[in-house]
Amino acid sequence: MAVDAPVKGEHVPVSTYSWDPPGRAATDAAPAAADEPASPLALLNPRRHLAAAIGWSVFAVVTVAGAGAAHWVGRAAEQQVRWGSEQLVLQLANQTRQTLADSLDNRLSIVQATAAQIKAAGDTGAAALRASLASVQSQFPEFAWLGLADAAGIVVAATGGLLEGKDVSGRPWFQAAAAGPWLGDVHRALMLEKQLPMAPDGQPLRFVDAAVPLHDANGRRLVLGSHLAWRWVEDLQAASLRALSSHEQLELMLVAADGAVLTGPLPWQGRMLHAEQDLTEAGRYIVGQARHEPQAGSPGLAWTVVVRQRSDSVLRPARQAQRAAFSTVLGAALLAAGLAIAATLLLTRRLTRLAAHAQAVHDGRADRLRPIGGIDEVARIGATLAAAVSQLQEEKRALQSLNGALDAKVAERTRRVERLALRNKQVAVVRERLRLARDIHDSLANSLLALLNDIRLMRVLRRQGRMDDFDQRLASAESAASRGLGEARAAITQMRHNNVGEAGLAAALKELLVRFSERTGIAHTLDLPPGELPIATATAEVVFRIAEEAIRNVERHACARSLQVTLAPAGGGAVRLTLADDGVGFDTAVGKSGHYGLQGLREQAALVGGDLGVDSRPGAGTRVTLSFPPG
């Protein structure tokens, strides 16, 4: 049974206010527009007008009381009093039943509202969910436990972290909540798999389960379950008895569907009631029973509320007094109903105007709320809503402005990235040109220079008629041409076998040294770290070119017997590559005109932010050291 308003003294979660911008079509059934005239019959509709609801409520309550008084009329004094007392205790039973039902349904509504808030919040982290559940438990301590379980029945968040990660798919509340909101029956349980204090009868505590299904912001199907402490129901019963303190010697019992007495006087607790059992105890008590039966297909508990009153406490209202009371009550009911409707219409007219203004904003017929005069709650609500609507509109305009600024920044960043990409492309082209220039210098240029010198000398020898020397120079020229062709082919092979980007720098160095030994017969050793160093691909390409050039110089000029290559981490996060040979060496202080090998190596090292050092002396070999950042 859904409740339209919270019980006095209780707190229920408040849903977040939502405002739709002007022009949005209403998706729900909207109330009539402010400019539509209301018919007289519409003014009596309690679902559309608060005044009508109050009037009908007053009329219904007072009329029911008057009907009960009228029923007493015409009875003999004792029978009338007894019958009236029976009606009274029955009314008290119904009131208690309705109070319990409304309270339990209200708690189920709170679970539903909590599920809606969890879905609206959008934060699906366990900590956020646990905080939401703990907030509900702090407001409503009657919830002994609240928890969220996923579609497989695993608890993902719970108050106090209890049962998190546990499987609850076998629990009745989880299975039943898959079809909709569910309110379980009273049961005893060792709560949450750990021993709790026992009830006074030595049995485990009782609980009532409430659960609802939901889907979070990510579309996951969840079940929100809760355990209501039965002690809370007992407190409600005690409060009902205290509210009925004017009635002497009243006893209140709550009986389960199987006849077990759940609450009541100590002699009755735990007993089983049968249909034929005489609860009046041979007329000593007047008994009223109200059975709560959930509607078909609706969740809820099935129980019977039994109210008993001692017969000797029923006192002797006179028939005339009862008739007078009935007439007075009935007249007061009609008068109170009329006055309630008139007074409510008068007092709520400003609230009606505020509702009409809010509906106009919702329908897009206005862009702001018109102020409602006064200093009472209606005026404050109107001012608050008006400020909220104005703030939302200002935030919308600010958001549009921010989007424009962000679009401009994105466009500027895009142009900057395009310029950087073009610059990187140009740098790559210049780098490749320098590499080709070095390769040509180290291979074809030297061979062609030797060939040119031999051709010039052969021309002189032929004019002088020195044919033996001519043939010797011709053979030397042929050898220079063959050597240049071989060097060109070797350079092409090295470029084709450059797989630094795919295999990594260490693997590429291994392959380079294997081919070097196969060509020259010079022994080599390669020392590498245990794992692959995190070197960027572009940096590895340049480092490999430097190593390739240094090894080529060893092959052509060093006359070495062995070559040692080491790749290892250096201090400060840098990486060091060392190539050392035992060849003839050279004087690093003496430069050679037309030779740019060392200068090219230093230029390549500068491209990756590295530092190239060359240590060599005649007859003492050569050591080339390159230190560079890995990325």
pLDDT of 432: 61
Mean pLDDT to the nearest integer, 115-140: 86
Query: How remote is the C-alpha of 434 from its chain's centroid?
Result: 54
pLDDT of 590: 73
Count of beta carbons in the 10 Å neighbourhood of residue 354: 21
Residues 6+ apart with CB under 8 A from 364: 22, 23, 24
pLDDT of 547: 92
pLDDT digits (tens, 9 = 90+) for 319-368: 456 667 677 777 777 787 778 777 777 777 777 888 887 888 888 787 77
3-17, 432-446, 546-560, 612-626: lowest mean pLDDT where?
Answer: 3-17
pLDDT band of 435, cuts 50, 70, 90: low
Angle between helices 597-607 and 377-440 (to 10 degrees): 170
pLDDT band of 56, cuts 50, 70, 90: confident
SS3 491: helix
pLDDT of 527: 93
Residues 6+ apart with CB under 8 A from 370: 357, 386
Q: What is the DSSP letter of 272?
A: B
For strands 303-310 and 285-292, give the pairing.
antiparallel
Supply the mean pLDDT for the chain: 77
pLDDT band of 195, cuts 50, 70, 90: very low
Question: What is the residue type of 360?
Answer: A
What percent of the chain has pLDDT above 90? 14
528, two tokens: 């590498």
Most confident of 399-403, 482-486, 587-591, 599-603: 399-403
The pLDDT of residue 281 is above 80 = no
pLDDT of 562: 94
Closest by CA to 603, choosing from 417, 358, 434, is: 434
pLDDT band of 295, cuts 50, 70, 90: low
The pLDDT of residue 77 is above 80 = no
CA 107 → CA 13, 17, 101, 228, distances in Å? 11, 22, 10, 9
* Residue 305 φ then ψ, to 5°: -100, 125
pLDDT band of 30, cuts 50, 70, 90: very low
Residues 142, 229 contacting (CB under 8 angstroms): yes
Residues 625, 576 contacting (CB under 8 angstroms): yes
pLDDT digits (tens, 9 = 90+) for 565-605: 999 998 888 999 999 999 999 888 775 544 456 787 888 88
SS3 613: strand
Mean pLDDT to the nearest integer, 168-175: 88
